[in-house]
Amino acid sequence: MEIRFYNSLTNKLETFIPIKENEVSIYVCGPTVYNDPHIGNMRPVVFFDTIRKFLESVGYDVKYVSNYTDVDDKIINKALSEGVSEKEIASRYIKAYEDCLEKLNVKKATLNPKVTDYIPQIIDYIDNLLKKGYAYIEDGEVFFDVSKVKDYGILSKIDVNNLINNARVENNSKKHNQLDFLLWKKTSEGIKWKTPFCDGRPGWHTECCVMIDSIFGGFIDIHGGGSDLKFPHHENEIAQAEATNGNHLAKYFLHTAMMNISGEKMSKSLGNVILAKDAIEEYGANVIRLCLINAQYRQIINFTDKL
């Protein structure tokens, strides 16, 4: 049987040929666990669960990994506001997330690594990037030097000069170039770790790279997530993988489109966010799962009562 996927890396429909015969490695970016998941968060989860189950049904041995980002500014701020630990916040919302997955009949991942379990590996990974000249230190913080990667932008397909003005590029006066991104952040508040650079915590884009490197050896068959992760998250992961291992991290990148609510983008500012648990309770888990996979995965879903 020929299986074909639309590869975001090449923007082409390609025949799926795994790295190892009869084995498939999949890594899907999981949630930052600081709040209850909304229905849009469930779309990539259900889609990649369906892909996994299909591949297993045709005989592949699938190793499916999806992480939990359990250290982040939003988690720290919530912990400080409630007077509890970051671990308590993360544990609470990991449970809320997993409760939704169970109701939606999502098969448990082979592994759900947490960022806090990989801090030594993250520090070593960053140190290696520094030694190879792909990163630099400014005021104790470590940044990745994008100018050292020749094909930066290969995934997002946006001209690098235009990326400088992209709203998703973080402004920071310490950067040598505007597109450079943080690998290790100096912090005085919340959970932090001692390193040769400074007391702080890892940057978001490095965390997944390290887990893929540690669990899979640095190169996988399928890397997935929502289309909002294409830039800068997955683009910056690819840059680090090129610097570390000389590859693009994955053979195939698959991205699911976003979800609108009654024709409008779902956002807290518009007050139209629908929590996954509420949608499941109102419509039923089977209806929600069908809704999430019934549309072509690269097309926006417009969620309404009539859907």
Q: Residue 110 sits in a domain of what CATH number?
A: 3.40.50.620
Let me know if residue 299 belongs to a domain.
Answer: yes
Residue 64 lies in a domain: yes
* pLDDT for residue 49: 99
Band (pLDDT 50/70/90 cuts) for residue 264 is confident
Q: How confident is the model at residue 96 (pLDDT cuts 50, 70, 90)?
A: very high
Going by C-alpha positions, the residue among 157, 141, 145 that lies closest to residue 192 is: 141
Query: Does 300 map to a domain?
Result: yes
Instruction: Give the per-residue SS3 of the chain.
Output: CCCEEEECCCCEEEECCCCECCEEEEEECCCECCCCCEHHHHHHHHHHHHHHHHHHHCCCEEEEEECEECCCHHHHHHHHHHCCCHHHHHHHHHHHHHHHHHHCCCCCCCECCEHHHCHHHHHHHHHHHHHCCCEEEECCEEEECHHHCCCCCCCCCCCHHHHCCCCCCCCCCCCCCCCCEEEEEECCCCCCECCCCCCEEECHHHHHHHHHHHHHCCCEEEEEEEHHHHHHHHHHHHHHHHHHHCCCCEEEEEEECCEEECCEECCCCCCCCCEHHHHHHHHCHHHHHHHHHHCCCCCCEEECCCC
In a domain, 302, yes or no: yes
**298 inside domain:** yes
> Residue 208, Cα to own-chain centre: how many angstroms?
7
Distances (CA, A) of 73 to 53, 79, 230: 34, 10, 21
Residue 263 resides in a domain: yes
Segment 149-203, tens digit of pLDDT: 999 999 999 877 766 555 455 667 789 998 999 999 999 889 999 999 999 999 9
| Paired sense of beta strands 250-256 and 141-144, if any | unpaired
pLDDT digits (tens, 9 = 90+) for 19-59: 999 999 999 999 999 999 999 999 999 999 999 999 999 99
Partners of 25 in the β-ladder: 63
Residues recorded for the chain: 307
* Residues spanned by the domain of 109: 22-117+257-307
Q: What is the mean pLDDT of residues 135-152?
A: 95
Count Cα atoms within 13 angstroms, Cβ side, for 159: 3
From the list 112, 135, 132, 111, the residue with the least C-alpha distance to 202 is: 135
Asked whether residue 170 is assigned to any structural domain, the reply reads no
- Mean pLDDT, range 258-273, rounded to an integer: 84
Q: Please count the structural domains in the chain.
A: 1
The mean-pLDDT minimum among 15-24, 223-232, 236-245, 297-306 falls in 297-306
Residue 99 placed within a domain: yes
